[in-house]
Amino acid sequence: MKKDQVILKVESVSKQYRLGTIGTGTISHDLNRFFARIRGKEDPYLKIGETNDRSKKGKTEYVWALKDINFEVKRGEVFGIIGKNGAGKSTLLKILSKVTGPTTGSIKSKGRIASLLEVGTGFHPEMTGKENIFLNGAILGMTKKEIQSKFDEIVDFKNNFLAIGHFSDATIAVRIISFKEEEINQTFWTNKVQMAYDVRESLGLTKK
């Protein structure tokens, strides 16, 4: 496997959000949009050029959280994103993890992407730990067979390294173990964008 192979490519990704509460006016906005689209015109609420530096209130109700983001990540590379509050870090991660879609642009990836955004998601307090591990693994896209084969590893990991709390440790364990070396680009994203790859490596989970 080539070392300098590009495994994640983000091309001119933009994301537009609507400000304010959703409720009054949305039906008419939706209809306006719809008519604009069938007449082949541009979306009347997408106004590129509006600046969003968070220093003053925008004129329109719509705001670009991300505008024209381009970058590439190579295999084995550690990639960090830093920025002020509201710069769009989390939005970018949300798009990368397919939680929400971009307004424009595209993302190409050669590996599975797992988000470590907040732990505990998908765990049900009334089920046993084993049932929870299976459910969580499946949410991350593993098949039952894959989870079965990694079950001991997950439990070991949990017991040895993350003996804190109840849910959070098991969640992290499932997420870190759940990806095969070949298919993962070691791109784990946390809320503040630290690479879990380092964790894997220091725990001896990556084969050298």
Partner 1 sequence: MQREKWLFEISPKTSLFDLNLKEVWQYRDLLLLFVKRDVITVYKQTILGPLWYLIQPLFTSVIFTLVFNNIAGISTGEVPPFLFNLAGITIWNYFKECLIATSDTFKKNEAIFGKVYFPRVIMPMSIVFSNLLKFLIQLFIFICFYIYYYLDGYTISPNKYTLFFPLLIIAMGIIGLGLGMIISSMVTKYRDLTFLVSFGVQLLMYLSAVMYPLDLMREKLVNIEKGTDYSWIVDYNPIAHLIEFGRFILLNDGNYSTFGIIYTSIFTVIVFFLGLLIFNKTEKSFIDTI
Binding site for partner 1 (CB under 8 A): 6, 9, 17-18, 22-23, 26-27, 30, 94-112, 115, 117-118, 121-122, 124, 126-127, 131, 134-135, 138-144, 183
| Cβ-based nearer residue to partner 1, 124 or 202 | 124
Structure tokens at 95: 């798009």
Nearer to partner 1, 145 or 208 (CB): 145
Q: How far is the CB of 160 from partner 1 (least distance, A)?
A: 25
In the complex, least distance from residue 204 CB atom to partner 1, rounded to whole angstroms: 26
Task: Give the DSSP H or E segment for 113.
Answer: strand 112-115
**Smaller CB distance to partner 1: residue 76 or 122?**
122
Q: What token pair was written down for 43?
A: 């979306």
Considering the complex, state which of residue 136 and residue 200 has its C-beta at the smaller distance from partner 1.
136
Residues 6+ apart with CB under 8 A from 37: 43
Taking the CA of residue 72 as centre, how many other CA atoms within 13 Å lie in the half-sphere pointing to its CB?
6
> 193 near 80, Cβ under 8 Å?
yes
- Nearer CB in complex with partner 1: 123/197: 123
Nearest approach, Cβ of residue 102 and partner 1 (Å): 5
Minimum separation from the CB atom of position 156 to partner 1 (A): 22
Tell me 41's DSSP state. P
Nearer to partner 1, 47 or 112 (CB): 112
**Residue 128 beta carbon to partner 1: minimum distance, rounded to whole angstroms:** 9
Q: How far is it, in rounded angstroms, from Cα 150 to Cα 165?
A: 22
Query: Residues near 103 by Cβ (< 8 Å), separated by ≥ 6?
Result: 14, 15, 16, 46
* In the complex, least distance from residue 197 CB atom to partner 1, rounded to whole angstroms: 17
170 near 158, Cβ under 8 Å? yes
Q: How far is CA 127 from the centre of its chain?
A: 26
Half-sphere exposure of 46 (CA within 13 A, CB side): 13
